[in-house]
Amino acid sequence: MGKQIMNITPQDAFKLIKENIDNPDFVLLDVRTPGEFSESHIEGAILLNYQSPDFRNKVQELDKNKTYLVYCRSGMRSSGCASTMNALGFENIYNISGGIMEWQRQGLPLK
């Protein structure tokens, strides 16, 4: 069983992203649809569609030793994703509370 999932505010997430800008062991995951991702996303994010049929397989291909910061539109899908990752043995998972909607409300930058 993995460690506890850390829910963090968009402000803390922004700080975490800035601190890890050159860290290859830090991964920012956007688990929304490709359409949502193309409209706007957080810079440096990698798309991993939570609603895709091969989602679980794609998660299993990820490096369990890396740190992941996960987000979606409102926080629902990313919570599901974080739980899946946790069940698969990932230990360092952060979830942005309120998702990209809250990120935007806080005035944080999008690509």
Which H or E element spans position 73? none
* Torsion angle of the four alpha carbons 64, 70, 75, 79, in this order, in degrees rounded to the nearest 10: 0
Which H or E element spans position 88? none
Q: CA 14, 41, 87, 91 torsion: positive or negative?
A: negative
- Pick the catalytic residue: 70, 72, 81, 85? 72
Q: Is 81 tagged catalytic?
A: no
Beta-sheet pairing, 92-96 with 26-30: unpaired
Tokens of 81: 């994703």
Residues with a known catalytic role:
72
